[in-house]
Amino acid sequence: MNSRKLLSETRRTFPATKAPCQQPSRILIVDVTSPSWANTCSVLCEALENTLCLACGLAGPCRVPLLSLYVVQPQQECLLPFTQVKENFGRIQACISELRLLPAEGSFPQGGSGVVQAVQDGLQQFKQYSRHTAAGGSTNSSVEITVLTSQSSKEMVKQLEKKLKDVDLVSLRRLQVIEVLKRDFLEPEDVEQCVPAEEPSSSDIAILGMDIDVQTVEDNVISLEMLFKTWLHDYGTEREQLHLLLPLGGFSHAAAPKSTIMCLKCDLQERLLDPALLSGPADGTGRAADPSSPWHVAAWPAPGLHKLQVVKALKSEGVCESVLYGLPFIIKPTSCWQLDWDELETNQHSFHALCHSLLQRKWMLLARHEPQNTNPNWNIVVHSYYVIVPSDSATLLVKAVAIRELLLPSAFPALLAEHPERIRGPIESALNSLEVEVAYNPLHLKSNLYKYLKSSLYKPPHRQQAQPREQRPERHQPKQPQSRAKAAVAPLLMAPSPLQTFRPAAARRDCCERSPLPRE
């Protein structure tokens, strides 16, 4: 996937007031007048259904609180008005099935006016929904719109820029125009990408301060699925999520006491979804990790500000992977909108300099997690420790590391230098028969989790019990509507998290690197 980011991420306009739910509502506009809709339809529907079954199946607050779906053919039509995603997977599935049945290419004339009308109608619908729910406490105050089209994204943006000048865009957080391309139109290096690679562009397109993101994506299930999975990230930018504390050293331009520290303000991002969040019911009542635990750093939803105090540096080859545990998180320089421009820029440059220096020195950092709140009733504070690993990108990887109290005794017998040929021969033969890959690509493996979630989330229509003859309504009376009882969602069984592979640290590949996209 290739993308062209038209303005810096930190220049987006965000609501000035804090909303109870920082995850934006979603409006998806699908342009079915595109030349290749017949090829895109099936992969788009599968990718969308896969992502939304994850959103419904994850425990805790829903990461996609509201969803609305429009199609343009060439006039806009709302297939799904704003719907709460949690506990409505059956309705979402019915909408996707209707999307699959739309006519193939050539049935509609092309044109971008329908897309503009869909954007305007979606914004109006969101305002009405927000007013309706304001009395009971509005769940959201912002919306993001994603337009999927196979037409020229440049022409689409020109039309949007022209027609939306006089439209109220206060509630619009971001507008995306995604150009879906066939594999033949992509460069070889673009095919290698599996996640959006946002790069600044020399041409800036903004509507009343609101940026339009223009991206290109390949028309296959994996690429579109990764696009939709960005909805599952934390979109709260009211505050930074992590303070990385470093000793100031002797390079400060101003005189300062030795106790002064350097604070890098960062955001946390999940690298993986926690399988434990899929182990409970899909209604959000499943067990989630306890944010008050000293062994837990949560990236979503962020319970508060985390502080990691760097205590020492470690040689990269000196860290054994058997003492690392838990899910990894990505550390990035913050994009908190409340910081001024100079502070954001200085913080970003400092973060990049840290990444560069750690790579040059081949170092990792050992950091201690400071408690978020100091309760006077706490007599003893338990600290957890983390290893911070650099990468070739402008990100750091953080992972929990074992401490004395958790470590169990282990005996590692010495490896024998020689083995009998009758023993070694079959082993060598078995290894030689294996297919060897240069790097592990998780996109090559499937566990049927999507199929299981879809079957678990499906709620069959409730059947009424047979009534005695004397209680049955008369023929001339209107039939009472059939009630829909809430069906309990079966617990989702999920395999435990994969164990950390025990191998020398020098052979470890950076898990922040992007994996190549498998060809369908």
- CA 280 – CA 52 distance, rounded (Å): 17
Q: Which residue has the higher pLDDT, 348 or 419?
A: 348
In a domain? residue 289: no
Q: Which residue has the higher pLDDT, 159 or 106?
A: 159
The overall average pLDDT reported for the chain is: 76
What is the pLDDT at residue 355? 96
Domain count, the chain: 2
Note down the domain range covering 313. Answer: 238-250+259-275+304-373+382-407
From first CA to last CA, the distance across the chain in angstroms is: 14
What is the pLDDT at residue 10? 32
Helix (H, G, I), strand (E, B) or coil at 207: strand
Q: Is 33 exposed, middle or buried (0-12, 13-18, 19+ CB in 10 A)?
A: buried
Final residue of a domain: which of 407, 424, 454? 407
In a domain? residue 424: no
Question: pLDDT category, 506, cuts 50, 70, 90?
Answer: very low
- CA 443 – CA 434 distance, rounded (Å): 19
Neighbours of 290 (CB within 10 A): 11
CA dihedral 213, 217, 222, 228 (to 10 degrees): 20
3-state secondary structure 447-460: CCHHHHHHHHHCCC
Is pLDDT of 286 > 60?
Answer: no
Dihedral sign computed on CA atoms, order 50, 93, 230, 2: positive
Specify whether 160 is located in the same domain as 77.
yes
Is pLDDT of 483 > 70?
Answer: no
Percent of the chain residues topping a pLDDT of 70: 68
In a domain? residue 511: no
Is pLDDT of 59 > 50?
Answer: yes
Dihedral sign computed on CA atoms, order 413, 419, 422, 424: positive
Specify whether 121 is located in the same domain as 264.
no
Strand partners, 268: 331
In a domain? residue 170: yes
CATH number, domain of 67, equals 3.40.50.410
Ranges 5-19, 234-248, 371-385, most confident: 234-248
Specify whether 179 is located in the same domain as 244.
no
Is pLDDT of 252 > 80?
Answer: no
In a domain? residue 420: no
Specify whether 217 is located in the same domain as 242.
no
Is pLDDT of 503 > 80?
Answer: no
What is the pLDDT at residue 390? 96
Specify whether 61 is located in the same domain as 129.
yes
pLDDT tens for 5-26 read 333 333 332 222 333 457 899 9
What is the pLDDT at residue 191? 42
Q: What is the largest CA-CA distance in the chain?
A: 93
Specify whether 243 is located in the same domain as 213.
no
In a domain? residue 114: yes
Tokens of 520: 């369908």
In a domain? residue 14: no
Is pLDDT of 130 > 60?
Answer: yes
Is pLDDT of 270 > 50?
Answer: yes
Q: Is 227 exposed, middle or buried (0-12, 13-18, 19+ CB in 10 A)?
A: buried
CATH number, domain of 342, equals 2.40.290.10
Strand partners, 179: 149, 216
Q: What is the mean pLDDT of residues 143-165?
A: 88
Question: pLDDT category, 242, cuts 50, 70, 90?
Answer: very high
Final residue of a domain: which of 391, 407, 423? 407
Helix (H, G, I), strand (E, B) or coil at 256: coil
Specify whether 245 is located in the same domain as 170.
no
The residue assigned the tokens 């979603």 is 26
What is the pLDDT at residue 21? 54
CB 176 within 8 A of CB 9: no
Specify whether 177 is located in the same domain as 246.
no
Q: Is 131 exposed, middle or buried (0-12, 13-18, 19+ CB in 10 A)?
A: exposed
Specify whether 212 is located in the same domain as 358.
no
Instruction: Say which residues have a Cβ less than 8 Å from residue 247's Cβ, sequence separation at least 6.
Output: 261, 262, 310
Q: What is the mean pLDDT of residues 24-41?
A: 87
Specify whether 267 is located in the same domain as 148.
no
Specify whether 309 is located in the same domain as 222.
no
Backbone phi and psi for residue 287, each to the nearest 5 degrees, phi listed first? -70, 130
* Pick from 494, 138, 497: nearest CA to 286: 494
* Pick from 159, 69, 151, 161: nearest CA to 110: 151
Specify whether 172 is located in the same domain as 242.
no
Q: Is 114 exposed, middle or buried (0-12, 13-18, 19+ CB in 10 A)?
A: buried
Question: pLDDT category, 251, cuts 50, 70, 90?
Answer: low
In a domain? residue 294: no
pLDDT tens for 293-345 read 655 665 555 667 899 999 999 999 999 999 999 999 999 999 988 899 999 99
Query: What would the DSSP string read from start to end of 317-376?
Result: GG--GGGEEEEEEEEEE---TTS-HHHHHHHHHHHHHHHHHHHHHTEEEEEEEEPS---T
pTM of whole model > 0.85? no
